Structure 1
Amino acid sequence: MESRWRDLVVLDYEVDFPTASRLELALYSTGAALAPGALLGERQRWGVHRHPGLLEVPASHYDRVLDEFGVRCADPRFVRGLGERLAACVGRLARATADLAGAEPPDTTTIRGVVDALTELMAFHVLNWALPLPEIEGWLARFTEDGDAARALLMRLLVPTTPAHLVDVAALTAAAHRDIHAGAWSPGRAADLSARIGHLQAPGLAVRPFEDPATLEAYVRSLDAGDVDHLGAMRRSRNAAQDRLARDTSMLLLATGGEPADVDRAWAYTAVCRLAAEEEEQRRRWQGASLRAIRIAAERAGVRPDAILPSACDADGAAPEHTTPVLDPSDEAWAWLRS
């Protein structure tokens, strides 16, 4: 949740994720602190922590970064560089996770290497609210019939490059269901499927039910023909969205009439919209896989995952006994209004 208090912008992830672990909260808030570097390549971070999950940013710095980023989203060279920075973060996280998998036994330093690499990737979650959507929609309206058509076109541009993680889960479970009924199944297949998609079932540090091969297999066996058809429809819907995107991009480029500045902006806006959607998908995949690796390694190392915060988190290292969000959404917190 973003709120403003005098000259501060308060980013409170405890409100957004009230059941999240302290490490997850720190990943989000520290990622936000690193957002100026992820978005613009700047050295200065956003604000300071009150505690993990709660970041206070000077409003002038916050607004300047978002305003500058919004302007530069119209430059295809800038958008290309942004995509390269995201890809580099994913690569560093992949290497750090591989190092952790090979550590025998794992230690706190190696675990923190994954935490820090994941934090760099988490900085890109700001991209989802930093996109200058009103400006993009207003520019698209020059080439559409009306504002509603421009808004609909903008929504159709927000399609990731890789398949959505839930589409992959649907496709793999549907394929597993067919294999089971064809007799092509084994405990090894169940374990492999669990390792591939178990962590995608839900975000977070906690163990997901599908990480247990027996639980996942029981779910797959419980599916009926209608369920499998529904799962297949998710894949078909994804393919249809890709086809629409190709048509929309071609029509938009034709509508510019070849004007160089408009062609550049069309490419930039199309690419940055896709990049924002792609960031969401890549981050969800790596966030789930990395948190699972961190949890398992921490258990083997005999440490609490919540004790290993990102190096860039400037919050007090001591875990508070209890924390309350700045804005508490519970009924009890607002009971005075009804008294």
Structure 2
Amino acid sequence: MESRWRNLVILDYEVDFPSASRLELSLYSTGAALFPRIVLGKESLWGTHRRPGILDVPAATYDRDLDEFADSCVDPRYVSQLAVRLQECCSQLDHATGRLCSARQPTTAQLREVVDNLVELMAYHVFNWAVPLDDAERWLTDLTASAAAGRTIMMRLLVPSTSAHLEDFAHLATEAAHEMTTGTWTAERAAELSDAIGHLQAPGLTRRHFDEPAKLESYVRSLNTTDAAYLRSMKDARIRGERSLARETSLLYLLAGDTATLARTYAITAMCRLAAEEEEQRRRRQSRSLRAIGRAAKRIGLNLDLVLPSVYAADPHLTGDAPKPLFADDGSSTWGFC
């Protein structure tokens, strides 16, 4: 939750995720602190932590950086470069998570590597509120000369380019249901399916029933013909939506008229798609990596309450474990304002 108090913007993830662990809260708040560095390419970080999950950012800095990001969203080169950096970030996390999962005896160093890669990906969650969607909708409305058309196209742009994790879950579950009816289902397939989609059932480090092959198998066996048909229809709907969006995006480019308008239109459409894709890919990797972290910590007997991203522990401007009072004992401000 974002709130403002005098000259501070307070990002409070404890309100958003009241049951989250200390590590999960630190991933969100430290990810937010990394936004200027990861997304804008600056050296600076945002704000000061009161504790993991609560970040205080000077309002002037916060507003300036988000305005800079909004201006960059209409630059095709910036959007293209940002997409490349996001993919690189995802690949680095995939490799680190893969090493942790495949290790016969995982180490604390391998676990912390995953945490540090994951927190860099978490910097992109600021997209959720930073992308200037109102400006994008106004541009699309002016271009199409229709508020309804502009709104419709923008909402379709905010659908991931790749299949959503819920669609993949539905696809794999219906495949499994078919295997059960044909007699080709095995216990090994139950374990494979659980490993592939069990972590998508719930975010974070919370216990997931579908991580247990027997429980996921029980769910799949409970699907009836109508349920399977409904799940299968999700894929068909996405294909239809992609085809419709391709036609509408082509129309937008034809309406542009000149090079500058075309460049801005391309940047806006690409940024909307990137924002949707970021949310989807981060969601998948966040769940998978946290599952790997939880399993590894259990195997090596590590208390995850003691694990924080390295950048949090290393930067004195970020570190904060105890709530910081607004005023000192003499009544003066401890936050640098009157």
Give how far 1:103 is off: 3.5
2:52 and 2:320 in contact (8 A); partners too:
no
Moved more, 90-99 or 115-124: 90-99
Q: How far apart, CA to CA, are the structure 1 residues paired with 2:159 and 2:9?
A: 30
How many angstroms apart in 1 are the aligned matches of 2:102 and 2:228? 37
1:115-143: CA deviation from partner (whole Å, max 9, x where unpaired): 00000001001112110111111111112
- Alignment gaps of 5+ in structure 2: 327-338
Q: CA deviation at 1:39?
A: 1.8
Q: Secondary structure at the match of 2:39?
A: helix
**Structure 1 unaligned spans of 5+:** 327-339
The aligned residue for residue 61 of structure 1 is 61
Which amino acid in 2 is paired with 1:159? V
Q: Which residue number corresponds to residue 275 of structure 1?
A: 274
Distance 2:288 2:31 in 1: 17
| Equivalent residue number for residue 34 of structure 2 | 34
Over 3 Å counting, the alpha-carbon distance change for 1:264 and 1:220 in structure 2 is: same
Counterpart position of 1:52: 52
Change (3 A) 1:68 1:316: closer
- The count of aligned residue pairs is 320
Counterpart-to-counterpart distance in 1, 2:110 and 2:226: 46
Residue by residue, what CA displacement relative to the aligned partner does 1:4-57 show, whole Å, maximum 9, x if unpaired?
011100000111111111111110001000011222111101111111110000
- Kept in 2: contact 1:96–1:117 (CA 8 A): yes
RMSD: 1.6
Q: CA shift at 1:316, angstroms?
A: 5.3
| Aligned counterpart, 1:171 | 171
AA aligned to 1:312 is V
CA contact (8 A) 1:159 1:241 kept: no
Whether contact under 8 Å (2:11, 2:29) holds in the other structure is: yes
Name the CA distance, whole Å, in 1 between partners of 2:236 and 2:106.
42
The 1:239–1:291 alpha-carbon spacing in structure 2 relative to 1, beyond 3 Å, is same
Shift in Å, 1:317: 7.4
Alignment of 1:276-295 (within 5 A): 276-295=275-294
1:330 is aligned to none
Q: 2:151 — aligned with what?
A: 151
SS at match of 1:215: helix
Q: How does 1:98-113 map to 2 (within 5 A)?
A: 98-113=98-113
CA distance in 2, matches of 1:304, 1:227: 41
Aligned equivalents of 1:317 and 1:222: distance in 2? 48
Secondary structure at 1:313 match in 2: helix
Aligned-residue sequence identity (percent) comes to 54
1:311 Cα offset (Å): 0.9
* Cα 1:73/1:212, change in 2 over 3 Å: same
| Alignment partners' CA distance in 2, 1:272 and 1:208 | 33
Mapped contact 1:39–1:127 kept (Cα < 8 A) = no
Give distance in 2, aligned partners of 1:317 and 1:200: 32
The 8 Å contact of residues 31 and 122 in structure 1, kept in 2 or not, is answered as: yes
Cα distance in 1, alignment partners of residues 253 and 103 from structure 2: 50
Matches within 5 A, 1:188-267: 188-257=188-257, 259-267=258-266
Name the aligned partner's letter for residue 266 of structure 1: T
- Are 1:17 and 2:17 matched, yes or no? yes
Moved more, 199-208 or 97-106: 97-106
